[in-house]
Structure 1
């Protein structure tokens, strides 16, 4: 039994692109092709047929939508949170000392006298 894999762009007829002896091989081929098509932003629908009878269809829109939902749910547990530092990390112009305002030291010196 030969399984014929065809692809169809948004505007155009179905084009045969591969033929397989095993249905699982055909499905793996289509999954890899859909990943490549998603990277280059091409929407292609794939069909698996045997003796002019369509067995399975793989539509790019439905598969991409389901994968984005899975991806968004997977990252919920490992999100980074904002933790401010107690240290002053503001950028300073070069040549200025780190603490150029001496508030407490001057007040302590005046109180001692």
Structure 2
């Protein structure tokens, strides 16, 4: 099952996507500038092979719902996210606010 929902945070709109797969769930919250995602996100790949795309993203692990993702500290972030001040440990919702 795939769920795509609008999500308002502090007056700003984001898109929350939940993809239920066998034995796991993919979660992401995004806007036009960047996104946060569950542990399925490969930050190393984004920082190396896709570095030319300048992707702003962060990864949280151990999350099972969109609400968990918003409240969790990010385990890793891309180099482009770091340029915005988003660092490892930044709470998901705070990171999204920095992507405005």
Q: TM-score normalised by the shorter chain: which range applies?
A: under 0.3
Given the two structures, how large is their TM-score scaled by the length of structure 2? 0.25
Q: Rg larger in 1 or in 2?
A: 1
Greater share of strand residues, 1 or 2?
Answer: 2
Greater share of helix residues, 1 or 2?
Answer: 1
